[in-house]
């Protein structure tokens, strides 16, 4: 793996239709920083996207997996990743961070026989800080149909932040304030008929970016309406309107930190 910190989008699909039809890949996000290699939300096809990445991402070198919530487009490949990264448990290592719903109850998504293959499993909690080697991050509670957490990493003295699936609420701006890079799951082009749905729309993104004032922002996790609107054109319009660089993620895109 490279020494320079970066994120790579192993997929940018949001909503069941986009995922099921694979109109965009759904492999989640790869983060490499501070000597640590992390998979965030390994959705369907994550292991395939790792193998086909240029250069390939060797899952044996993965140090941690983070599940922001249990929905299948965010967690589908967690078990095969655990098995692969630990060589079927023969090379026990690695950390798993996940919401409690991912680990407990009838909808738990992490197979019990694989859990002992890891060094440690930690449940995410609101405003709690965690470490992966020297890399620090904080979990931020979001508002979704499942227990969901956003992430805020401290990388080289700058905040690199991820807003996972959530409806808009004003506290988001406070929690993500001063982020250098802000990645937003932007499923919707326009808000649903009911006020403030459980996914962000472009008007929500505008409000968040204006309040947080990141150096750069990235929109990803697109639903069908967003794809039809051409995310790169939406991002260009947002950049011109807000005066902050907005990037539309694409499958395989790499962003250096």
What order of strands is seen across the sheet that includes strand 181-185? 129-132, 135-141, 149-155, 158-163, 181-185, 216-220, 245-248
Per residue in 147-191, pLDDT tens? Answer: 999 999 999 999 999 999 999 999 999 999 999 999 999 999 999
Q: How far apart, in whole angstroms, are the C-alpha atoms of residue 59 and residue 56?
A: 9
pLDDT at site 2: 53
Comparing CA positions, the residue from 128, 140, 138 lying closest to residue 169 is 140
Domains and CATH numbers, the chain: 6-256 (3.60.15.10)
Residuewise pLDDT in 10s, the chain (257 residues): 457 999 999 999 999 999 999 999 999 999 999 999 999 999 999 999 999 999 999 999 999 999 999 999 999 999 999 999 999 999 999 999 999 999 999 999 999 999 999 999 999 999 999 999 999 999 999 999 999 999 999 999 999 999 999 999 999 999 999 999 999 999 999 998 776 569 999 999 999 999 999 999 999 999 999 999 999 999 999 999 999 999 999 999 999 99
What is the DSSP pairing of strand 36-40 with strand 64-67? Answer: parallel
Q: What is the pTM of this model?
A: 0.96
pLDDT at site 6: 98
């Amino acid at each position: 793996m490279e020494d320079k910190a970066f994120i790579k989008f192993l997929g940018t699909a949001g909503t069941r239709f986009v995922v099921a039809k694979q109109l965009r890949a759904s492999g989640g996000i790869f983060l490499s920083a501070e000597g640590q290699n992390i998979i965030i939300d390994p959705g369907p096809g994550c292991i395939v996207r790792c193998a086909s990445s240029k250069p390939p991402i060797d899952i044996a070198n993965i140090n941690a997996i983070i599940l922001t919530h249990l929905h299948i487009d965010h967690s589908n490949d967690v078990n095969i990743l655990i098995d692969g990264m630990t060589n079927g448990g023969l090379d026990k290592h690695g950390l798993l961070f996940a919401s409690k719903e991912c680990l407990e109850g009838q909808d738990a998504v992490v197979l019990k026989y694989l859990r002992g293959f890891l060094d440690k499993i930690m449940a995410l909690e609101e405003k709690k800080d965690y470490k992966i080697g020297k890399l620090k991050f904080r979990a931020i509670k979001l508002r979704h149909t499942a227990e969901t957490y956003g992430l805020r990493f401290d990388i080289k003295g700058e905040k690199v932040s991820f807003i996972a699936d959530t409806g808009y609420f004003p506290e988001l701006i406070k929690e993500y304030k001063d982020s250098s890079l802000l990645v937003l799951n932007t499923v919707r082009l326009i808000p649903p008929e009911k006020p403030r749905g459980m996914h962000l729309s472009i008007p929500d993104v505008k409000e968040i970016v204006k309040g947080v004032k990141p150096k750069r922002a990235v929109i990803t996790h697109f639903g069908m309406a967003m794809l039809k609107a051409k995310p790169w054109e939406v991002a260009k319009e947002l950049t011109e309107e807000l005066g902050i660089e907005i990037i539309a993620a694409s499958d395989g895109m790499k962003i250096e930190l």
